[in-house]
Structure 1
């Protein structure tokens, strides 16, 4: 009886392997290249490499990640837009992908026509932070102070047109205040100047904010998501703090060249849905200060369209110059 049981289990295992091989053969390609349009080592790159590993295992293919930085993500995005729509080349990028449409006079591709959105990989709230000795102890006090001194206060960001800059512009618009934007060439120099007291206010991502906040070098007044961040449970959302409806999260998504619902697209959507729901994904993403996304396929496409409209309106109202 035991021999029979072992034989049955062995046959079942062999059948599973054969089925896995069949699924791999059915996928249109044997290798997937994921283009990241930013330098190696950043949050986008780290998330892409994690996803690449599990996507390869799910589909039974080889996956590689290639960094093509430059021009706020447009160089790498162009490579993907002009690649075959067979699943061999994918794009993993950040919020810049939808913001660039409003910030640049021309793009070498059409954001809404040349890509098929596959999955919202992760979201990361920004934080509204101030210097350690800033007089305002809450969002309400900051707004009151800014209204008493229009144009006198300033906020820093990692650069013109980034998610952190536009979070600040949206805050200005929704709070009805006038504070000056001070752009830096990257988040690190901006954070250094905040810690040093050279700028009083800043919007930045949690991975950048947390070390300085935990060291007591800066104070967090609020986060920009609609729900509190697990890593900052005592920090209110801007919505809770009185700026009703405020939401400005950084997010990361996966795309492929326009595929019109092809079998490759359908399989990629299904695979990403499983990967994002896995406990290992939540654990890994938590180390980066991000939450796994929950939108795939048509839902993610609708989200992308809504983000294009949202940030386009913010850029227009703020008179952010086009490049």
Structure 2
């Protein structure tokens, strides 16, 4: 992986963790020059939060929590609209083309940048077609292995992959998603070859790993924690630069001998490009209030994510860094995803 992309990845978590102290960052020029000033009564009608995945997924659950709490904070109706398909591209395209009036928002997660970076057919630009509103939360993935795999650490895994290139099989939630690209990042960083097998979600990949058909997956901590606790799989490391409080005994990537790798799954609200600054600011202030609520923080802890309050500008910096870092991985690995 090129040095500049490594540096971008190192900066991403630092950006997120510093949001509380930088909430007053300047607004980007395009946002600061937003269109007309909205009515002081905004929102005057229900606001749709589009989830580009099916009901029941982690992104959907986050959207419903945020919609409920934003409604309470802003004394308005926020409704979730699931528009699934094409690894999130369908719902994302829908929001990109919606009126920039604050009444259609996107609950963005990691596929927002990974799919745009790796799938030419995604047909949306995360940097040009969207206005950042606010980050909600972030959390790492966890590397997990079949219990029979003769490796109990990332360094042992890398050594095994080097001795037997192509023999190990890794299951992802689908080509172009963060679960796929985190493998490609590891391969680029270590010069190893591990076979990628895309599934329709992490759950079936995990079942095949437990059954021995494949040896490795990464997934969110809530998705894999039950299997880690009952001994069905063994955790090797979390994908972030620091440990997770949900898995305090599992090393970070840096502790696992891979400094500079820092991958987090994120949840954020985005609006169509051109949404007036006053609306964005109003929504951002409400999001920052929501993620500080005790009941929301308790839910985040249960879901192994951390609140990430901050300004629209800070979210914009994060999205750009994430997108460009994954573009570098795609280029380095010469990935061709249709």
TM-score, scaled relative to structure 1: 0.88
- Partner in structure 2 of residue 86 of structure 1: 101
| Structure number with bigger Rg | 1
Could you tell me whether the CA contact under 8 Å between 2:115 and 2:177 is conserved in 1? Answer: no
Aligned Cα RMSD in Å? 1.8
- Partner in structure 1 of residue 91 of structure 2: 76
1:209 aligns with 2:229: no
Q: Structure 2 regions of 5+ residues with no counterpart?
A: 1-37
The alpha-carbon deviation at position 26 of structure 1 amounts to 2.5
What is the CA–CA distance in structure 1 between the aligned matches of 2:210 and 2:244, rounded to whole Å? 22
The alpha-carbon deviation at position 233 of structure 1 amounts to 0.2
Alignment of 1:63-212 (within 5 A): 63-212=78-227
The alpha-carbon deviation at position 313 of structure 1 amounts to 0.9
1:300 aligns with 2:315: yes
Question: What secondary structure does 2:291 align onto?
Answer: helix
What is the CA–CA distance in structure 2 between the aligned matches of 1:109 and 1:145, rounded to whole Å? 39
Structure 2 vs 1, CA of residues 107 and 149 (structure 1 numbering), >3 Å: closer, same or farther? closer
The alpha-carbon deviation at position 25 of structure 1 amounts to 5.1
* Post-superposition CA distance 1:85-110 (Å, at most 9, x none): 22111110211111222223244443
Question: What secondary structure does 2:64 align onto?
Answer: helix
Could you tell me whether the CA contact under 8 Å between 1:78 and 1:109 is conserved in 2? Answer: yes
What is the CA–CA distance in structure 1 between the aligned matches of 2:81 and 2:137, rounded to whole Å? 19
Could you tell me whether the CA contact under 8 Å between 1:87 and 1:264 is conserved in 2? Answer: yes
What is the CA–CA distance in structure 2 between the aligned matches of 1:270 and 1:187, rounded to whole Å? 34
What is the CA–CA distance in structure 2 between the aligned matches of 1:151 and 1:88, rounded to whole Å? 48
Question: What secondary structure does 1:26 align onto?
Answer: coil
- Partner in structure 2 of residue 278 of structure 1: 293
Structure 2 vs 1, CA of residues 54 and 24 (structure 1 numbering), >3 Å: closer, same or farther? farther
* Post-superposition CA distance 1:227-266 (Å, at most 9, x none): 1111100000111110111111111211111135521111
Question: What secondary structure does 1:253 align onto?
Answer: strand
Could you tell me whether the CA contact under 8 Å between 2:88 and 2:112 is conserved in 1? Answer: yes
What is the CA–CA distance in structure 1 between the aligned matches of 2:224 and 2:321, rounded to whole Å? 27
What is the CA–CA distance in structure 1 between the aligned matches of 2:100 and 2:118, rounded to whole Å? 27
The alpha-carbon deviation at position 293 of structure 1 amounts to 2.0
The alpha-carbon deviation at position 226 of structure 1 amounts to 1.2
Could you tell me whether the CA contact under 8 Å between 1:73 and 1:93 is conserved in 2? Answer: no
What is the CA–CA distance in structure 2 between the aligned matches of 1:58 and 1:236, rounded to whole Å? 38
Question: What secondary structure does 2:78 align onto?
Answer: strand
Could you tell me whether the CA contact under 8 Å between 2:237 and 2:251 is conserved in 1? Answer: yes
- Partner in structure 2 of residue 49 of structure 1: 64
What is the CA–CA distance in structure 2 between the aligned matches of 1:173 and 1:108, rounded to whole Å? 26
* Post-superposition CA distance 1:156-215 (Å, at most 9, x none): 111111111111111111223221112212211110111011111221211211011111
The alpha-carbon deviation at position 115 of structure 1 amounts to 0.9
What is the CA–CA distance in structure 2 between the aligned matches of 1:203 and 1:108, rounded to whole Å? 27
Higher normalized contact order (CA 8 Å, seq sep 6+, divided by chain length): 2
Question: What secondary structure does 1:165 align onto?
Answer: helix
Could you tell me whether the CA contact under 8 Å between 1:128 and 1:221 is conserved in 2? Answer: yes
TM-score, scaled relative to structure 2: 0.85
Which shifted more, 82-91 or 209-218?
A: 82-91
